Structure 1
């Protein structure tokens, strides 16, 4: 739970810094098919 919250905060800061960061974050952190 804490890990998830931490990732969310980091992602939020990245999104605020760079509007296009969310797409990259989503790709990097999405569940992999393998």
Structure 2
């Protein structure tokens, strides 16, 4: 149980970091021409 929750927690954080990085690259790409 403990290891399962730890794996889910790691996947959750990894997903959030991945989304944040993608949003940052999208914002930079959209604001770059300006």
TM-score by length of 2: 0.52
Any gaps of 5 or more consecutive residues in structure 2?
1-12
What are the ranges of 5 or more consecutive residues in structure 1 without an aligned counterpart?
A: 20-34
Give every structure 1 segment of 4 or more consecutive aligned residues whose post-TM-superposition deviation is greater than 3 Å. Answer: none
Q: How many residues are matched? A: 19
- Say which structure is richer in helix: 2
Q: Which has the higher contact order (CA 8 A, sep 6+)?
A: 1
With the length of structure 1 as denominator, give the TM-score of the two structures.
0.52
